[in-house]
Structure 1
């Protein structure tokens, strides 16, 4: 598997250099974004952040706000994977702020909300998780042709229900008067 990542990295770097030589800035940014995903998939988070940040700056220079938002979303995912939850929240929030100007971008808005919800899930903030996942589901649903994504949100909400139930049971079991093995009876 690693050699496939190495091959993809090599090909993308080569393409990035060629597009940079001819001045095709949009594709240069796309190459950096692709490299960010490749590095993120391999848990090379510093490299991923570097690539997403370079892509974001390039997209800003050419005025592609939707792609800037997508880079913020990817940074949110990467920071979340590193346990840098505050930075992740900032990145997702910035993405959603930018996307307010583009309400028709249901796919990107929906995935930003869904991934923001996963961040809250890992932080065990189930109220915010539910809020973001429901908002993502409703966003996908309003598009009319994103049924697979609606289903993905419904599955995430079902997992949340299970996690909340497990959390409630765990809290109940570890309350001293409810636990028969407790030292307090």
Structure 2
């Protein structure tokens, strides 16, 4: 689904030291420009203080949580799929592939039916949270049988964190940098 463009990326000529500093927790200085940052980060720079506060949390979710990259990407893809967020979908499919997810796995994330039991459990946690704003007890018990409590906490925050980001991307109408295949 394409959402109406409401906020445009901050143009290069308007970037300043505060803008670049706001991105420092997530991207290296050499990528601190419109092309390197992409439309989502460049749009967020319209509010550098918010960006500087938000990105360390997002960087933790993306790179430092206790979850495997595969589990993280299963959760992220399901959240952004359910949120109709083509922008984040197209950006995370390559990350999912690098994390070992196949085309069949990604199709399973879309349909909600994954062959891998852990992936299916993550899908259920996403669906629970995005439907009822909680993970139901049965799903939670299964998660705790397969993950540590820290991993369960990270999973909950990854789901919520990417739901927040998808809501912002959709609301601002952030567009893909180039034509890309959406969620199908």
Choose 1 or 2 for highest CA Rg.
1
Higher helix share: 1
State the TM-score, normalized to the length of structure 2: 0.26
* Structure of higher RCO (CA pairs closer than 8 Å, 6+ residues apart): 2
